């Protein structure tokens, strides 16, 4: 049995089955994750059919508006700072940060999304790369936005090492992911639309997300609770003294 990727515990129990995938729960820390975890290739296949491109993106107008609202709430953390949206899709949040004063970048693995983003928002730097390739560039940031990404990542430890690797000391990360412990989640978790393997391969609680961040050098400094939406939204700070 593989160890829990958050606490390295080896005791797990069956949690629930969905789409012929089994989720287990770690008996030590409560983390809920797919076991066995599908291969990176199998997970990548899920996204192969995204056929966005130059000039078209679903719901672009409402995405622009929502991105601006999101960015307004985070403005103090990125204004005049090197900032990146990891898993940027069509680039809406990266562009909103740029408009509000950030030196903005966006990273996504989807060619269609990045083609759209480069065309629609030419003043933002966009990268169509894997996390590993981007990490090797050695670029670092003061602010990282990563919304609804971590629940898709098969190797969560590698993802956290990536985030830590691009975060300067004192950098802030704003991260969102579904909240499996939220009161709005259906009693039968298999009825929850976020409970959707292999798109979502793990689901967090405040406790497991806090523990994961702590293990990789970050402190959660702010939590944004949504009464009606089962989502975790946190601001974390990379430990160390900022030099900016
Ligand atoms: Zn655990």
**Does residue 39 form part of some domain?**
no
CB-proximal residues (5 Å) to ion ligand 1 = 4, 6-7, 9, 26, 28-29, 31
**Does residue 28 form part of some domain?**
no
pLDDT score for 131:
96
Cα 211 to averaged position of ligand 1 atoms, centre (Å): 9
**Domain limits at 74?**
52-238
Cα 193 to averaged position of ligand 1 atoms, centre (Å): 24
Report the domain count for the chain.
1
Ramachandran region, residue 182 (left: φ > 0; alpha: ψ -120 to 50; beta: rest): beta
Residue count (the chain)? 244
Cα 24 to averaged position of ligand 1 atoms, centre (Å): 10
Name the band, by pLDDT with cuts 50, 70 and 90, for residue 47: low
Mean pLDDT across the chain: 94
Cα 26 to averaged position of ligand 1 atoms, centre (Å): 5
Alpha helices (runs of H) in 2-155, residue ranges in sequence order: 40-45, 60-78, 92-99, 111-120, 131-135
Cα 212 to averaged position of ligand 1 atoms, centre (Å): 9
Cα 13 to averaged position of ligand 1 atoms, centre (Å): 11
Residue 162 phi, psi (nearest 5): -60, -50
**Does residue 40 form part of some domain?**
no
**Does residue 57 form part of some domain?**
yes
Cα 142 to averaged position of ligand 1 atoms, centre (Å): 29
pLDDT score for 48:
60
**Does residue 17 form part of some domain?**
no
pTM exceeding the 0.85 threshold for the entire prediction: yes
Cα 216 to averaged position of ligand 1 atoms, centre (Å): 15
What digits encode the pLDDT tens for the residues 140-152?
999 999 999 999 9
Cα 40 to averaged position of ligand 1 atoms, centre (Å): 21
**Does residue 11 form part of some domain?**
no
* Angle between helix 92-99 and 111-120 (nearest 10): 30
Name the band, by pLDDT with cuts 50, 70 and 90, for residue 41: confident
Write the CATH number for 218.
3.40.50.150
Average pLDDT in the 86-109 region? Answer: 97
DSSP β-bridge partners for residue 86: 107
């Amino acid at each position: 049995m593989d160890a829990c990727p958050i606490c390295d515990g080896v005791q797990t129990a069956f949690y629930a089955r969905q789409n012929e995938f089994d989720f287990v729960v770690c008996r030590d820390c409560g983390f809920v994750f797919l076991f066995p975890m599908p291969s990176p290739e199998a997970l990548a296949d899920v996204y192969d059919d995204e056929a966005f491109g130059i000039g078209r993106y679903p719901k672009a107008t409402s995405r622009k508006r929502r991105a601006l609202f999101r960015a307004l709430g985070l403005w103090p953390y990125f204004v005049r700072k090197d900032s990146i949206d990891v898993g940027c899709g069509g680039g809406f949040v990266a562009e909103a940060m740029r408009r509000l004063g950030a030196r903005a970048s966006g990273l996504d693995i989807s060619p269609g999304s990045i083609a759209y983003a480069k065309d629609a928002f030419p003043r933002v730097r966009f990268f169509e790369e894997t996390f590993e390739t981007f990490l090797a560039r050695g670029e670092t940031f003061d602010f990282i936005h990563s919304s609804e990404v971590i629940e898709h990542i098969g190797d969560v430890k590698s993802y956290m090492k990536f985030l830590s690797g691009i975060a300067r000391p004192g950098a802030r990360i704003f991260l969102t992911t579904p909240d499996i412990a939220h009161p709005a989640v259906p009693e039968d978790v298999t009825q929850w639309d976020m409970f959707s393997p292999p798109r979502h391969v793990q689901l967090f609680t405040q406790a497991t997300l806090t523990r994961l961040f702590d293990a990789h050098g970050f402190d959660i400094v702010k939590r944004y609770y949504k009464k009606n939406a089962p989502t975790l939204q946190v601001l974390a700070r990379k430990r160390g003294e900022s030099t900016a």
